[in-house]
Amino acid sequence: MSDTLDFLRKPAALLYREVIRLRNLAFECGFLKTWHAPLPVISIGNITAGGTGKTPLADWIIGYYRSIGQTPALLSRGYGRSTKGVVMVADGRRILCGSREAGDEPLMLAAKNPGTITVVAEKRKEGVKFILERFREQPPSVIILDDAFQHRQIARDLDIVVINAGEAYFNAGMLPEGRLREPLANIRRAGLVVLNKITDRKIADAIAIDLKKTGIPIVEARTEAAELAPFGADMCAENTAGMRMLAFAGIGSPEGFLLSLQERGIRVEAHRFFRDHEPYSREKLLPILLEAEKKSLSLVTTEKDYYRLLGEHELMAILSVRPCYYLKIRTEFVKGRETLETLLKAAIHSRNTERGLTP
């Protein structure tokens, strides 16, 4: 069965490439239309499936806009949610739903950025129109589209593409054979590239040289671990260096999570990984808990997984009999932070000037 699937992946990838080519051509020729929102729009996306560090960057950008007096609104598709259509996650005053209704990443970003409007919608145009109507008396000053590089129905004032420098770049394959959502040449559509998760300087430099051929500004960054936050049995933020832990997560690139834990001096004695955004259940968590109890291990997960579990009272109760932690992460810039700030300001300046507003 596995050999059959491997045999089918290459033709499926070729077919997928052709579909993407035709779709992009339809936008470029005007057969498919792009809608221009009346507010500045910033898109943060990637060209591969998951694991680029896009969410911590979105968190940083929301915080940056708030720090310069702007009122951003976040619009995401809300992968993994049980709901359909437009759902308001946070109205700028309070969080209105949990991860099952919102998706883990939008809930996490809403919780980390109180006061920020957060909405999820499969059709981003409907989501933008909902924000414009719902907050017409006091609209946000900028809309941030999360994971929207391939979503071309809405024009954007700045299109940011995040690339994982730790993954295959020069020999990356198209889905489902590889992880590319569209050919690497399509990066030229972006207004800014963030080369993220840099660990090997030689590899990062080679990718940067190739990207510079496009003439697109490049920012170099890495996703860094902050601190371990407790949420389990003892709720004690003790020194975790040298602790023996079982790591579990449902993320796109679990290798980076393990590396971050090891860099903190944590001994990962066992791990259990699931698909990105995969919902947790009692049946999935009980074996993890039993193994941790048998080996006397603490539990550790990602920040995104913590927010996926938050509000699931039965699941949190299962985990709470062991010391549990989640690893906070943040984006740190290696080179080009000033370029990013300049482009973020410029993106809202021209549109707000048109509207007679002072950014």
Smallest Cα–Cα separation from 149: which of 232, 77, 248, 253? Answer: 77
Give residue-wise pLDDT tens across range 218-261. Answer: 999 998 888 899 986 555 556 666 789 999 999 877 888 998 89
**pTM, rounded to two decimals:** 0.91
At 49, is the pLDDT very low, low, confident or very high (cuts 50, 70, 90)? confident
Class of domain 2-222+333-354: alpha beta
Tokens coding 35: 């809608």
Token pair, residue 233, equals 């049995």
Q: How confident is the model at residue 137 (pLDDT cuts 50, 70, 90)?
A: very high
Kindly state the tokens that stand for 243: 């602790």
Question: Tokens in use for 278?
Answer: 């995969």
Q: How confident is the model at residue 359 (pLDDT cuts 50, 70, 90)?
A: very low
Q: Which residues pair with 101 in a beta bridge?
A: none
pLDDT in tens, 170-191: 888 999 988 899 999 999 999 9
Taking alpha carbons only, the member of 197, 190, 191 closest to residue 53 is 197
Taking the C-alpha atoms of residue 154 and residue 139, their distance in angstroms, rounded to an integer, is: 18
Cis, bond preceding 176 (omega within 30 deg of 0) = yes
Spatial strand order in the sheet of 244-250: 87-91, 117-120, 72-76, 142-146, 41-46, 158-164, 192-196, 218-230, 324-335, 298-302, 244-250, 267-274
CA 189/CA 306 separation, integer angstroms: 34
Question: Of 51-60, 187-196, 232-241, 325-334, where does mean pLDDT reach its minimum?
Answer: 232-241
For 233-322, the fitting CATH number among 3.40.50, 1.10.150, 2.40.50, 3.40.47 is 3.40.50
What is the chain's Cα-based Rg?
21
d(CA 89, CA 99): 9
Q: Is the pLDDT of residue 138 over 70?
A: yes
CA 42, CA 148: separation in Å to the nearest integer? 9
Query: In the chain, what percentage of residues exceed pLDDT 70?
Result: 92
**pLDDT of 63-83, one tens digit each?**
999 999 999 999 999 988 999
What pairs with residue 230 in β-bridges? 325
In whole angstroms, what is the distance from residue 126 CA to residue 351 CA?
A: 21
Say if residues 153 and 36 touch (Cβ distance below 8 Å). no
Per domain, the residue ranges of the chain are 2-222+333-354, 233-322
Q: Enter the DSSP assignment of 354.
A: H
What's the DSSP call for residue 183? -
Average pLDDT for residues 330-339, to the nearest whole number?
A: 95
Domain 233-322 in the same topology as domain 2-222+333-354: yes
